[in-house]
Amino acid sequence: MLITNLEFLPDRKIHKHLGLVQGSSVRAKHVGRDIMASLKNIFGGELRGYTELLHDSREEATERMLEQARGVGANAVLNIRYSTSSIAAGAAEIFVYGTAVELKDND
């Protein structure tokens, strides 16, 4: 599956539009990480635990979007966008969406 945030690809043509596909994931940190983060917060620096958590969350959301795309028979998702919102203390939602299409090589 080809995923890109470009709207079109110069050497491929869109054979069929298959509509919007999306995926989301809400994750929270466990207490241990929160405690570590609040300690880190005194001295500054990267909060690696959170970086990893959001990274994994983003991967999961993307995977869910791809599942949907496969379901409608797409071979590419174009113009994808990510959005992140922290919905509660300690939990963040990652949302990703894009247009599922069937691409063909130009010959």
Partner 1 sequence: MIEAGFFVVLLVGGYIFGRLAEKRHMKSIIKREAINNALPAIASRHPPTDQPYHQHLVGGSVVIGSDYFKSFMSGLINIFGGRVTPFETLLDRARREAMLRMKEEARRYNAAYVFNVKYETTRVATGKVAAMEVFAYGTAMIPGNRQLSSVISSA
Site residues (vs partner 1, CB under 8 A):
1-12, 29, 34, 37-38, 40-48, 50-51, 54-55, 58, 75-76, 80-86, 89-90, 92, 103-105
Give the shortest CB-30-to-partner 1 separation in angstroms.
11
Which residue, 19 or 38, has its beta carbon nearer to partner 1?
38
Residues 97 and 24: beta-carbon distance below 8 Å: no
Question: What does the alpha-carbon distance between residue 30 and residue 43 come to, in Å, rounded to a whole number?
Answer: 21
* Measured CA distances, 105 to 7, 10, 75 (Å): 16, 10, 12
72 torsion bin: left (phi>0), alpha (psi -120 to 50), beta (else): alpha
The distance of closest approach from Cβ of residue 18 to partner 1 in the complex, given in angstroms and rounded to an integer, is 15
Least separation, in Å, of the C-beta of 98 and partner 1? 10
